[in-house]
C-alpha cells in the first residue's frame, strides 16, 4: 500500500479509514460526538485510539485536526502509522494515544476554526484572567477582515499591510494577524471567551491518564507554515523550560524554537500544549508541533481571511464561495502524491525518534 492511500478527500472518508485501521490494530476506541453535523448531514466526532495499557507510565500522544482543515494531513499520518504497524510492539509500560480530528467541525467543513469561529490553538488560556492584548490586530482589523471581498478591498488591505511592515517588520505583521485575539468574535485567530467543545473534550480524553502517566510525548500535527512538503519540528516549549531541552536532545539541530527565531511560527497564546499541561500536571511532557509547509505565508493568510469573510458575509454555494473553499483546502493540504509521501515519510521518522526519546526518559 502506498502512503497516498492513507490520505482522504473528506472528513467522513478519513474517519472511516482511521476507525478501520484502529480496529485492525486492536486499539481500544472511544468516540466523542460533536453537537454539530457535517455538510453532508453526517455525524461529527473526535475518535480516540489507544494501544497499550491504560495505566502506562509512558504515554505517546499524537493529535490531528487542531485546525480542522489541517486534518487531511494529520489523519493520513495517523492512519498510516496504524496500518503500517508503527505503533505495534510498544515497550512495557508504554501506551500510544491517537486523537483523531479534535476539531471535527473544522475538518468536515474545511475550516481552520471550530463551530464557534474559535481557533482551538488559541483557546487554551485562563479565561478568568484579563486577555492579552494584540494591538497590531486591533489596528489592522478592518483590513484583515474586510466587509467586502473584491479587488478594492484587496488593494486597501495590501496597502495597509505594507505600511505596517514599513513601520514595524514582516514578522510583526505575521504576529499581529496570527498570534491570537479575544474580542473580535467574527474575526480570524479568535481564541474565544470560554473553553470550547474541543478544549473540554481534550481535557476529558486526557483525564484518565493524569494519575499514571509519568513521561509524556506529544505530537500535534499541523500544516500551513514553511517550505512546501517539509515537516518542521517545532518545540512547544520555550528555551528555558525542560521540555525544550528534551526536544533538542531528541531531535538535535532539526528542532526549531519560537523564542530564538528559528521557527516558521511566531509565539501564540492559548495553544494545545497548555491543555496537556493542565490535564496532566504530574507528567513530564515533551511536546512538538510537526508543521508541514504548503503555500507561501501570504497565500495561506489570504486563504484564512477569505474563508472567514465567506462564513461571516458570503455564500458558500456561490461561485466565489466554491473558489474560496478550494483556496482554503489548498492552503493547508497539498493534494499530490509526492507531497503525501514526503509528509508520511517524515512523520514515520519523527515517530521513531519520539518513541526512542520517550523510552529513554
Please give the pLDDT value at position 51.
98
Same domain, yes or no: 156 and 17:
no
Which residue range is the domain that position 150 belongs to? Answer: 136-170
Same domain, yes or no: 112 and 241:
yes
Contact, 277 vs 209, CB < 8 A? no
Same domain, yes or no: 201 and 67:
yes
Q: How far is CA 344 from the centre of its chain?
A: 16
Please give the pLDDT value at position 278.
96
Please give the pLDDT value at position 239.
84
Same domain, yes or no: 121 and 150:
no
Instruction: List, in sequence order, the alpha helices (H) in 46-120.
Output: 71-83, 104-108
**What three-state secondary structure class fits 78?**
helix
How does pLDDT run across 162-211, given as a tens digit for each residue? 999 999 999 999 999 999 999 999 999 999 999 999 999 999 999 999 99
How does pLDDT run across 137-150, given as a tens digit for each residue? 999 999 999 999 99
Same domain, yes or no: 294 and 350:
yes
CATH at 291: 3.40.630.10
Residue with cell 505495534: 88
**What three-state secondary structure class fits 63?**
strand
Contact, 145 vs 308, CB < 8 A? yes
Whether residue 229 is contained in a domain is answered as: yes
Residues of the chain with pLDDT under 70: none
Whether residue 320 is contained in a domain is answered as: no
Same domain, yes or no: 143 and 120:
no
Return the closest-CA partner of residue 107 out of 48, 61, 46, 180: 46
Please give the pLDDT value at position 240.
85
What's the predicted TM-score (pTM) here?
0.97
Count of the separate structural domains present in the chain: 2
Task: State how far the Cα of 270 lies from the Cα of 272, in Å rounded to an integer.
Answer: 7
Q: Which grid cell is 44?
A: 461529527
Amino acid at each position: 500500500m502506498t502512503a497516498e492511500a492513507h490520505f482522504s478527500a473528506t472528513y467522513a472518508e478519513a474517519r472511516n479509514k482511521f476507525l478501520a485501521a484502529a480496529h485492525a490494530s486492536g486499539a481500544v476506541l472511544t468516540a466523542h460526538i460533536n453537537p454539530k453535523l457535517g455538510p453532508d448531514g453526517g455525524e461529527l466526532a473526535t475518535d480516540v485510539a489507544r494501544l497499550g495499557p491504560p495505566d502506562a507510565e509512558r504515554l505517546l500522544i499524537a493529535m490531528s485536526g487542531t485546525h480542522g482543515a489541517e486534518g487531511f494531513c494529520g489523519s493520513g499520518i495517523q492512519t498510516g502509522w496504524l496500518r503500517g504497524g508503527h505503533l505495534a510492539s510498544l515497550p512495557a509500560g508504554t501506551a500510544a494515544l491517537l486523537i483523531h480530528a479534535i476539531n471535527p467541525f473544522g475538518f468536515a467543513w474545511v475550516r481552520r476554526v471550530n463551530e464557534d469561529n474559535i481557533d482551538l490553538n488559541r483557546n487554551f488560556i485562563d479565561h478568568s484572567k484579563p486577555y492579552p492584548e494584540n494591538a497590531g490586530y486591533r489596528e489592522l482589523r478592518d483590513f484583515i477582515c474586510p466587509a467586502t471581498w473584491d479587488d478594492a478591498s484587496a488593494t486597501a488591505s495590501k496597502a495597509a499591510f505594507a505600511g505596517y511592515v514599513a513601520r514595524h517588520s514582516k514578522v510583526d505583521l505575521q504576529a499581529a494577524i496570527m498570534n491570537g485575539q479575544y474580542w473580535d468574535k467574527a474575526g480570524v485567530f479568535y481564541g474565544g471567551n470560554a473553553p470550547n467543545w474541543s478544549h473540554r473534550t481534550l481535557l476529558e480524553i486526557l483525564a484518565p491518564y493524569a494519575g499514571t502517566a509519568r513521561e509524556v510525548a506529544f505530537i500535534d500535527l499541523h500544516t500551513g507554515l514553511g517550505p512546501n512538503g517539509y515537516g518542521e519540528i517545532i518545540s512547544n516549549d520555550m528555551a528555558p523550560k525542560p521540555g525544550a531541552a528534551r526536544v533538542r536532545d531528541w531531535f538535535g539541530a532539526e528542532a526549531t524554537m519560537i523564542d530564538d527565531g528559528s521557527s516558521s511560527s511566531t509565539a501564540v497564546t492559548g495553544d494545545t500544549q497548555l491543555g496537556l499541561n493542565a490535564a496532566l500536571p504530574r507528567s513530564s511532557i515533551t511536546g512538538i508541533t510537526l508543521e508541514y509547509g504548503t503555500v507561501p505565508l501570504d497565500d495561506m493568510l489570504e486563504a484564512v481571511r477569505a474563508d472567514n469573510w465567506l462564513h461571516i458575509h458570503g455564500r458558500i454555494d456561490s461561485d466565489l464561495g466554491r473558489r474560496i473553499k478550494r483556496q482554503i483546502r489548498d492552503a493547508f493540504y497539498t493534494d499530490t502524491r509526492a507531497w503525501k509521501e514526503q509528509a508520511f515519510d517524515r512523520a514515520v521518522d519523527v515517530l521513531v525518534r519520539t518513541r526512542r526519546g520517550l523510552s529513554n526518559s
